[in-house]
A and B are shown apart, each in its own frame.
Chain A
């Protein structure tokens, strides 16, 4: 497998790179694996061709975007990884089996997790009200986009239900696309499947011509990011749920009469923070929950450390499965005396909770989605 570096370097504006090392220096996985995006870029500048299939480390990248926001020359090293993965996906050789399965499932079943298409509405079980389907209703104020993990994963489903409950209580007219909802493709794209992603984009745009909506909200920052930044022109504004919750709280449409007595800290999801600059809304919500004693982690906001759940890493294990960044994150939270590590992303919830369990620290720290805390106080 050969990549013509001259073309590649031009496409990704690599010729401007001054090899300062800020990308690799900030890369959270560079401390645990030999992934060095700076030297990969250098190879693309110096060699005539590179062979991505021999670069196992390409699958270490979480697409957290630290490299890109630190780059003084405005090069996008995270996109370079996606570009190189694209060659591997194109030829199929060297593709990690679980990545292959996720990509296949996304196109055959509409979800990355290998579940049956018809089960996409399973999350509604336990709700004491009907969730309307926008394709039946033809019109809604708020299109509620669920996403694969929030729809199928039993650990995330309560978060998805909590959000629906808040919309209902606040009197918001909302609807979902039911079992016709397709994977957003954010992770697909980042695993290098550009064409397949384009197919999902076109599929969505075709479907949304059949109904009207004023706005759209997503549970996962990953889906939110795809629709907001990578779906071309959208007919309505796209929000992450933390933005809507913050608004509802501010307008007094969401009341929190209950109390959650706990020392809470917050882990910034990369696709909410670094990708989209949403840092204040989640903190605003947490600080409005009665009883919550909020304190930030030392490494927070722009300096937050990735949980290793992004960029396809929920499927690709990477070259070092022993050391996990989520472990350090959990230890940091405990050492500052936090009892709850709040997140606003399904992947962060899964990876961090996994870390708590692996480390046997269940009795000291709970990982909870912000929506779970909100529901407790409702």
Chain B
């Protein structure tokens, strides 16, 4: 290891590796130096001059860009001297004159006390030639689809001959990294842009190629989406590796199959939500404001895509309709059975909507309300007392009138067909066996009922056991059920496991 070098920044001392840049050294000391064209994943560039600092010697001083100035000898650096700050203010003024519409520079101008630029301002330009897009495309993506063209005031970012790029892979790195929103993938290529939806948030927001699936994920670590990761697909990028301080990214990890000897197995593989696209009369997948119960759940969640604010495309709905029994109690689509959770989750969601959107008008269309659990009927009473309208009749279709939705139903108590206009319709989508249930059942040699859920040994007396000794069922794998019932069954399954294991131990002794 080479000799460390001492550096003094704003009076603070540090020993750093030679060739460390002043910027890196300052950041290890917790000193904030503003940057615009710097990105740790890219080679230092020194284009924007925002990171300029002052090196002070005996009787001399020099302004340098800290992002690409390596420390070679003991040096003293000032990051906020009068000279530095004066220079920065001038820079901000010039940048604001170039890109007066860029919020980034408007914020910087406010921070550095810069008013209206004294220079002639340009219109509708957001690019300030930091080169982040060009560099990420060349250094990380490797596509080299864009570069700088022209000289002096003509300089700009463009594709070769200003033509739609063949080389571009539509990864979106340029658009992602651009600090001012100046570059759009759709200007570079006509290849389809494939958004990556975050599955846990029902696609209501996007995700990266490396991401933590959801806040309560076990284990709670990021995963790499190999089908889209540039490194796995093209051998390039490796940016995440650069950003991870403890160097935890390991591209060589592979799926492992483990053989484990066990005395008991609990099958708790859960359910799939009904896909409302299978009931085309409701226009789900066609109208953005027709959503599933699970999507509403994410919209109403504080950790969801809207931080718990119920809005779609920025609009807060005023008239909301909930539709019961979508994919449940239905011989034609979904299951013939009652999904058991939708009545109460709809009541809860109607309550949440009422709570979060004051003055909203909420209608719930139902066939029967099955509020059978402890405290459920009381909750159903409370929700109606809040002013939420329950109308008996299951809607038959949803269509558009202007920019609103129309829910068409018969109010069977009135014996009259009604058209209820709405800004948002929430479909109480039911519970289905998992798509891979047949595979799992055959792997474990278990039986499934006619409805597709796993078969318990006896519907009344052995509700968690299966025909195979030592294999137990818990939760919605066995039938639709709510959280209290799932917890109760899970505890019963755990008790079954303990009995099984103690028998095995006694036999061994």
Contacts and interface: CB of A to CB of B under 8 A. Distances in A.
The answer to whether A and B interact is yes
A82 interface: no
Nearest to A37: B410
Interface string A16-30: 001111111111001
A22 B280 contact: no
A53 interface: no
A302 interface: yes
Contact of A25 (B280, B283, B325, B409): B409
A72 B332 contact: yes
B332 A26 contact: no
A189 interface: no
Interface string A21-48: 1111111001100001011000000000
Secondary structure of the A contact surface, majority rule? helix
Interface residues of B, number: 26
B410 A303 contact: no
B399 A25 contact: no
B394 interface: yes
Interface string A54-66: 0000000000001
A23 B408 CA distance: 11
Contacts of A66: 396
Contact of B417 (A27, A72, A73): A27
A4 interface: no
B332 A302 contact: no
B410 A30 contact: yes
Interface string B385-410: 00000001111110110000000111
Given A18-B329, A298-B399, A303 B280 contact: yes
B505 interface: no
B447 to A, nearest CB: 26
A376 to B, nearest CB: 31
Contacts of A71: 332
A70 interface: yes
Contacts of B75: none
Interface in A233-259: none
A69 interface: yes
Contacts of B280: 301-303
A71 B279 CA distance: 12
Given A25-B408, A30-B417, A302-B280, A72 B399 contact: no
A299 interface: yes
A25 B281 CA distance: 12
B394 A21 contact: yes
A79 to B, nearest CB: 16
Contacts of A31: 417, 419
Interface in B315-336: 325, 329-332
A74 interface: yes
B395 A72 contact: no
B415 interface: yes
B412 interface: yes
Nearest to A70: B396
Contact of A19 (B332, B400, B411, B412): B412
Given A31-B419, A303-B280, A303-B281, A21 B393 contact: yes
A62 to B, nearest CB: 15
Which of B283, B367, B393, B397 has its CB near the most chain A CB atoms (within 10 A)? B397
B331 A25 contact: no
Interface in B96-136: none
B409 A21 contact: yes
A15 to B, nearest CB: 14
Contacts of B409: 21, 25
Contacts of A38: 410, 412
A164 to B, nearest CB: 35
Nearest to A299: B399
A298 B393 contact: no
Contacts of A69: 332
Contact of A39 (B281, B331, B332, B415): B415
Nearest to B413: A21
Contacts of B411: 21
Which of B280, B396, B409 has its CB near the most chain A CB atoms (within 10 A)? B396
Contact of A21 (B281, B329, B400, B410): B410
B334 to A, nearest CB: 9
B395 A22 contact: yes
Interface in A159-181: none
A66 B396 CA distance: 9
A108 B324 CA distance: 52
Contacts of A20: 325, 367, 393-394, 412
Given A22-B396, A72-B331, A302 B281 contact: yes
A22 B392 CA distance: 11
A25 B400 contact: no
Nearest to B366: A20
A56 to B, nearest CB: 17
Contact of A22 (B283, B394, B415, B419): B394
B412 A21 contact: yes
A43 to B, nearest CB: 11
Nearest to B398: A303
Interface in A295-317: 298-299, 301-303
Contact of A24 (B332, B368, B410): B410
Contacts of A301: 280
Given A19-B412, A36-B410, A72-B332, A24 B417 contact: yes
Given A20-B367, A303-B280, A25 B415 contact: no
Which of B368, B399, B417 has its CB near the most chain A CB atoms (within 10 A)? B417
Contact of A73 (B331, B368, B399, B410): B331
B410 to A, nearest CB: 4
A26 B331 contact: no
A25 B396 contact: yes
A299 B280 CA distance: 11
Contacts of A21: 392-394, 396, 409-412
Contact of B393 (A25, A70, A72, A303): A25
Contacts of A73: 331
Contact of A26 (B283, B330, B396, B412): B396
Given A25-B394, A302-B281, 19 more contacts: A18-B368, A20-B412, A21-B392, A21-B410, A21-B411, A21-B412, A22-B395, A24-B396, A24-B412, A25-B410, A26-B397, A38-B410, A39-B415, A70-B281, A70-B397, A72-B331, A298-B400, A301-B280, A303-B280
11 contacts: A18-B368, A19-B412, A23-B396, A24-B396, A24-B410, A26-B396, A31-B417, A70-B281, A72-B325, A72-B394, A298-B399
Identify the 10 closest CB pairs spanning chains A and B, nearest first.
Answer: A26-B396, A25-B396, A21-B410, A21-B393, A72-B330, A24-B410, A25-B410, A25-B409, A20-B394, A21-B412
